[in-house]
Amino acid sequence: MPNCKTVVPYRGTPEQEEELLRFVAEHKGQPGGVMPALQKTQQIFGYLPEEALILVAEGMDVPLSELYSVASFYAQFSFNPKGEHQVSVCLGTACYVKGSADVLEAVEKKLGIRTGSITRDGRFSLDATRCIGACGLAPVMTVGGDVYGRLTPDQVGAILDKYM
């Protein structure tokens, strides 16, 4: 959702494009087919490259601007690829009252990037998320599929080191 143009060159393969076009052809004209198409695009490419969204726009006969408008509305969609390791710190209420903002700050310091961005080498991207539903473990951070709960800011460094 961040307001920035895609900064990396498009690296979609013909196979990926074909997969997307197949999906689009199946869903064209279906009521409410836009969201599933966007989700499919993100699933295939990892983000929403402009080139891929043009395929969706042409295939579904929906203005590109409308697709972008819809996609940029939702937090789930990204216009830039994510890092190899996606780090997310939960800023849901339960985590927040238990100090997850400090955890997030510690991660920012450790990775040297702001929330919503990616390290220069493309290894880590950092996001703040809303409640992943693991409130019992608050405060929670996820790295890829790994969940780390009951965190304190000083544990962050050691955890991230494992992925460095």
Partner 1 sequence: MKTIDQLEQIRAEISAEMAPRFAADRAQGVERHIMVCAGTGCTSSKSLTIIERFKAELEAQGAAEHNRVVRTGCFGLCAMGPVVLVYPEGIFYSHVTPDDVPEIVSEHILKGNLVERLLHREADTGEATHHLEDMEFYKPQMRIALRNCGKIDPENIDEYLAVDGYKALTRILTEKTPAQEIIDAVKASGLRGRGGAGFSTGQKWQFAANADSEDGVKFVCCNADEGDPGAFMDRSILEGDPHSVIEAMIVAGYAIGAHQGYIYVRAEYPIAVHRLEVAIGQAKEYGLLGEDILGSGFSFDLGLRLGAGAFVCGEETALMTSIEGRRGEPRPRPPFPAVKGLFQRPTLLNNVETYANVTWILNHGADAYAAIGTEKSKGTKVFALGGKITNTGLVEVPMGTTLRTIIYDIGGGCPNGKKFKAAQTGGPSGGCIPESLIDTPIDYDSLTAIGSMMGSGGLIVMDEDNCMVDIAKFFLSFCVDESCGKCAPCRIGTKRLYDLLDKITKGEGTLQDLDTIEELCYHLKDSALCALGQTAPNPVLSTLKHFRDEYVAHVVEKRCPAGVCKDLLRYDVDPDKCKGCTLCTRICPAGAISGVLRAPHSIDHTKCVKCGACMETCRFGAISKH
Partner 2 sequence: MAEKTVNLTINGLDVTVPAGTTILEAARSVGIRVPTLCFLKGVNEIGACRICVVEVKGARSLVASCVYPVSEGMVVNTNSERVRHSRQLTLELIMSNHRMDCLTCARNSHCELLSLANELGIDAVRYANDHLLPQIEDSAPHLIRDNSKCVLCRRCVSACHKLQSVGVISPNERGFRTHISSAYDRNLDETDCVSCGQCIVACPTGALTVKDDTAKVWAALNDPTKHVVVAPAPAVRVTEGECHGLPIGTNVEGKLITALHRLGFDKVFDVDTAADLTIMEEGTEFLDRLQNGGVLPMITSCSPGWVRYCEMHQPELIPNLSSCKSPQQMLGSMVKTYYAEKAGIDPKDIVMVSVMPCTAKKYEVQREEQRLPNGCMPVDISITTRELSRMIKRAGLLFDHLPDGQFDPLLGVSTGAGTIFGVTGGVMEAALRTVSVKLAGEGMQVDFREVRGMKGVKEAGYFLPGRTVRVAVASGLANAKALLERVKNGQAHYDFIEIMGCPGGCINGGGQPTQSAEVRSFTDVAGLRAKALYQQDMDMPLRRSHENPEIQAIYRDYLGEPGGHKAHELLHTHYVPMKKYRPDQI
Any idea what DSSP says for residue 61? T
Stretch that binds partner 1, among 13-21, 44-52, 70-78, 116-124 (CB under 8 A): 70-78
CB 122 within 8 A of CB 63: no
Kindly tell me which residue out of 35, 54, 64, 164 binds partner 1, with binding defined by CB under 8 A: 35
Please tell me whether residue 129 binds partner 2 under the rule CB under 8 A.
Answer: no
Binding mask 21-50 for partner 2 (x = CB under 8 A): -----------------------------x
Mapped onto helix, strand or coil, the DSSP state of residue 24 is helix
Kindly tell me which residue out of 8, 25, 35, 54 binds partner 2, with binding defined by CB under 8 A: 54
- Long-range contact set of residues 15-18: C-beta below 8 Å, sequence gap at least 24: 16/44, 16/45, 16/52, 17/52, 17/55
CB of 51 to partner 2, least distance (A): 9
Block residue for tokens 């700050």? 105
**One-letter identity of residue 126:** L
Please tell me whether residue 159 binds partner 1 under the rule CB under 8 A.
Answer: no
2 token code pair: 């961040």
**One-letter identity of residue 5:** K
Please tell me whether residue 69 binds partner 2 under the rule CB under 8 A.
Answer: yes
Q: How far apart are CA 107 and CA 118, in angstroms?
A: 12
* Contact positions vs partner 2 (CB under 8 A): 1, 3, 5-6, 50, 53-54, 57-58, 63-69, 72-73, 79
- Residues binding partner 1 (CB under 8 A): 31-36, 38-39, 69-70, 73-77, 91-94, 96-98, 129-138, 140, 147, 149, 154
